[in-house]
Amino acid sequence: MKPSVLIKEINEFIGKEVIIKGWVYNKRSSGKIHFLQIRDGSGFIQAIILKGEVSSESFAAAEKVTLESSVEMAGIVREDKRAPDGYELTAKELTIIQLAEEFPIGKKEHGPDFLLNNRHLWLRSKRQWAILRVRNEIIRSLNEYLQKEGFVRVDTPIITPSACEGTTTLFEIDYFGEKAYLSQSGQLYLEAAIGSLGRVYDFGPALRAEKSKTRRHLIEFWMMDAEAAFVDFIGILKVQEEMVYHIIQSVLKNCQKELEILERDTQVLSSIKLPFVRLTYKETIKLLNSLGSDIKIGSDFGNDDETILMNHYKKPVFVTHYPAEVKAFYAKKDPNDGDFALVADLLAPEGYGEVIGGGERESDYDTLIREIQKRNLNVKDYDWYLDLRKYGSVPHSGFGIGLERMVAWICKSPHVRETIPFPRLLGRFRP
Ligand code: 4AD
Ligand code: MG
């Protein structure tokens, strides 16, 4: 009985005959010999089909098979250092499951529009395969870190009655005749859940009607929010940097092949050590001015400012103590200077910019009401949230990490559109 195996475990079958099932990724032929690159989702392998060594049916199948056809192959596993993936299969039998029509994505360069229109097929390319696997490893290691630190996963709703991150990017929906919104972040619900579980996190889609077309903005992105009771501002920065460090180590360890495919300079990642850099907002403004930006105290950083700043650093930087008025109503004021808030953005190096936003939350009932009113939000919409400050309010802090921005940085991808399986962008929601 020939075992049916995954390509990733083929090294356990050297010299044995196995069956693999997958798709033809590449093909090269010269008369009596065909080289097929086969991928099965778990990995890639080259197979050799020699005339005379296989049945005439199998040889004819190899001749006729087209790129992206699905196939089943039996063959003997050989170790070969010269083979693109270290192993080779000497074919014994080849069966075509479905003969593919001419695949629209070829080896030549395609524009982003064409690729995005064909995202359902583009996903099969080696580069996209590698990015999606790094994404998976980031999700896995994020969960691993938070669970180890005692955070309990609490899933927060997608449909909400009020804004978490300001009203300009809200997606409104009709909830049986009532106005409702798609969630921008689960944070407010996590603040409720700490009252039950102490340390919690969520992970799910966040939706923002972003009118800007940048390489960092998606309309639908995945966010992991975490929130912890009795943890102060400095405490939550520590959680964030340890978590990001853990992600980097996990990807370096478990995604070597993927990073190689992506031609990622891993030296940059492996040289990152704890602690990360910490700069206050005011220090950052000074630094930005010296680097050529004309930004003034009081304004939030734009993408360009973040890029200028982060081309300057080799490791992540926390920018802390932003002006309270540019940040959300729930941010706690700095007790030493009430014009500034205990918030931090974690900016990724190599020009990537903000990947995490977080900070300490306001725990005082009256202050919160004032901040909600200052922003022309309706206090009534936040009645349940305000309750949390009436029944055992505690100092607490949290943050939200944008998954796609993290993936973009770790993979050094030029645009977040290739870091999510099916991107939703300004003017695009198909396929
Ligand atoms: O900085 P943001 O807006 O913070 C919050 O939503 C907080 N409520 C999170 C919290 O404290 N629990 O968003 C958090 C992160 C950003 O740092 C960024 O990485 C990502 O979410 N993000 C986006 N990613 C892709 N496309 C967008 N349009 C994004 N908007 C935010
Ligand atoms: Mg932010």
DSSP string, 319-350: EE--BGGGS-TTBPEETTEEEEESEEEEEETT
Give the model's pLDDT for residue 401: 98
The alpha carbon of 137 and the centre of ligand 1 are apart by a number of angstroms equal to 20
What distance in Å separates the CA atoms of residue 226 and residue 153, rounded to the nearest whole number? 9
pLDDT at residue 85 in the model: 80
In CATH, what is the architecture of 119-418? Answer: 2-Layer Sandwich (3.30)
Question: Does the pLDDT of residue 107 top 80, yes or no?
Answer: no
At residue 84, the pLDDT reads 77
In the chain, where the domains are located: 7-98, 119-418
Here the contacts of 48-53 (C-beta below 8 Å, separation 24 or greater) are 48/88, 48/89, 48/90, 48/91, 49/91, 49/94, 50/90, 50/91, 53/90, 53/91, 53/92
State pTM to two decimals. 0.96
**Closest ligand, as measured to the CA of 329:** 1
Say what the pLDDT of residue 302 is. 85
Could you read off the pLDDT of 223-272 as tens digits, one per residue? 999 999 999 999 999 999 999 999 999 999 999 999 999 999 999 999 99
What percentage of residues in the chain have a pLDDT greater than 70? 100
pLDDT band at 82 (very low <50, low <70, confident <90, very high): confident
Q: Do residues 138 and 406 touch, judged by C-beta distance below 8 A? A: yes
Q: With cut-offs at 50, 70 and 90, classify the pLDDT of residue 167.
A: confident
| Backbone angle region of 391, left / alpha / beta, with phi > 0 → left and psi within -120 to 50 → alpha | beta
Average pLDDT value over all residues in the chain:
96
Question: What CA–CA distance (Å, rounded) separates 69 from 35?
Answer: 15
Residue 46: strand pairing partners: 37, 88
How far does residue 374's CA lie from ligand 2's centre (Å)?
19
Q: For residues 299 and 301, give the distance between their C-alpha atoms in angstroms, rounded to a whole number.
A: 6
Token digits of residue 336? 């030493």
Q: How far is the CA of 73 from the centre of ligand 2 (A)?
A: 50
- Using CB distances shorter than 6 Å, the residues near ligand 1 are 164-165, 185, 187, 208, 210, 217-218, 221, 223, 225, 354-358, 398-400, 402, 404-405, 416
CA-nearest of 111, 106, 128 to 261 is 128
CA-based nearest residue to 226, from 138, 286, 316, 156: 156
Q: CATH topology of 7-98 equal to that of 119-418? A: no
Pair of tokens at residue 213? 């077309």
Kindly give the distance from the C-alpha atom of residue 184 to the centroid of ligand 1, in angstroms, as a whole number: 8
Determine the average pLDDT of the residues in 301-316: 90
Q: How much of the chain, in percent, has pLDDT values that exceed 90?
A: 91
Query: In the prediction, which pLDDT does 11 show?
Result: 94
- Residue pair 262/131 in contact (Cβ under 8 Å)? The answer is yes
170-199 pLDDT tens trace: 999 999 999 999 999 999 999 999 999 999
Q: What is the mean pLDDT of residues 368-386?
A: 95
Q: What is the DSSP letter of 156?
A: P
Residue 6's pLDDT band (cuts 50, 70, 90): very high
Which ligand has the nearest atom to the CA of 185? 1
pLDDT at 317: 98
Give the mean pLDDT of 121-139.
98
On the question of pLDDT at 300 being above 90, the answer is: no
How far is it, in rounded angstroms, from Cα 353 to Cα 307?
6
Phi, psi of 14 (to 5 degrees): -60, 130
Whether the predicted pLDDT of 212 surpasses 90: no
For residue range 271-284, list pLDDT tens digits in order: 999 999 999 999 99
Instruction: Indicate if the pLDDT at residue 419 is higher than 90.
Output: yes
- Residue with the smallest CA separation from ligand 1 atom 20 is 402
Q: Which two tokens stand for residue 339?
A: 């014009």
Model confidence at 343, pLDDT cuts 50, 70, 90, reads: very high
Indicate the CATH number for domain 7-98. Answer: 2.40.50.140
